[in-house]
Structure 1
Amino acid sequence: MILIGQYDSPFVRRVAVALHVYGIAYEHRPWSVFSDAADIARFNPLKRVPTFVLEDGEVLIESGAILDHLDEVAGADRALIARQGPERRRALKLCALATGLADKAVSLVYERVLHKERSDLWVERCTGQIGAVLDMLESDRAAASGPWWFGDRIGHADIAAGCALRFLGEAHPHVFDRARWPALAVHADACEAMTEFQAVTQAFSVSA
Structure 2
Amino acid sequence: MILIGQYDSPFVRRVAVALQHHGLAYEHRPWSVWADAESIAQYNPLRRVPVLVMDDGEALVESAAILDALDGLVGPERALLPPSGEARRAGLRVCALATGFADKAVSLLYEHVLRAGDRRSPVWVDRCVTQISETLDLLERERAARGGDFWLGAFSHADIAVACALRFLGEAHPSLLDPARRPALAAHAARCEALPVFAAVVQPLHVAV
Shorter-chain TM-score above 0.5: yes
Deviation at 1:111, TM superposition (A): 0.2
The one-letter amino acid of 1:45's match is P
The one-letter amino acid of 2:193's match is E
Give the match's secondary structure for 1:161: helix
Deviation at 1:206, TM superposition (A): 1.3
The one-letter amino acid of 1:122's match is W
Give the match's secondary structure for 1:48: coil
Deviation at 1:188, TM superposition (A): 0.6
Tell me the residue number matched to 1:38: 38
Please show how residues 42-57 of structure 1 align to structure 2 within 5 Å.
Answer: 42-57=42-57
Tell me the residue number matched to 1:62: 62
> Residue 126 in 1 paired to residue 159 in 2?
no
> Residue 18 in 1 paired to residue 25 in 2?
no
Supply the distance in 1 between the matched residues of 2:109 and 2:207 (Cα, whole angstroms): 8
Structure 1 consecutive aligned stretches of length 4 or more whose deviation exceeds 2 Å: none
Please show how residues 106-185 of structure 1 align to structure 2 within 5 Å.
Answer: 106-116=106-116, 117-151=119-153, 153-185=154-186
Supply the distance in 1 between the matched residues of 2:90 and 2:155 (Cα, whole angstroms): 15
Deviation at 1:146, TM superposition (A): 2.0
Kindly provide the CA deviation profile for residues 48-101 of structure 1, in whole angstroms up to 9, marking residues without a partner as x.
Answer: 000110011111000011001100111101110122112111110100000001
The one-letter amino acid of 2:131's match is Q
Supply the distance in 2 between the matched residues of 1:98 and 1:183 (Cα, whole angstroms): 15
Question: Structure 1: any 5+ residue segments left out of the alignment?
Answer: none
Supply the distance in 1 between the matched residues of 2:162 and 2:202 (Cα, whole angstroms): 15
Tell me the residue number matched to 2:203: 202
TM-score by length of 1: 0.98
Supply the distance in 1 between the matched residues of 2:39 and 2:83 (Cα, whole angstroms): 36
Percent identity at matched positions?
62
Deviation at 1:145, TM superposition (A): 3.3
Supply the distance in 1 between the matched residues of 2:23 and 2:76 (Cα, whole angstroms): 15
Kindly provide the CA deviation profile for residues 15-65 of structure 1, in whole angstroms up to 9, marking residues without a partner as x.
Answer: 000000111110000000000001000111000000110011111000011
Aligned residues: 207
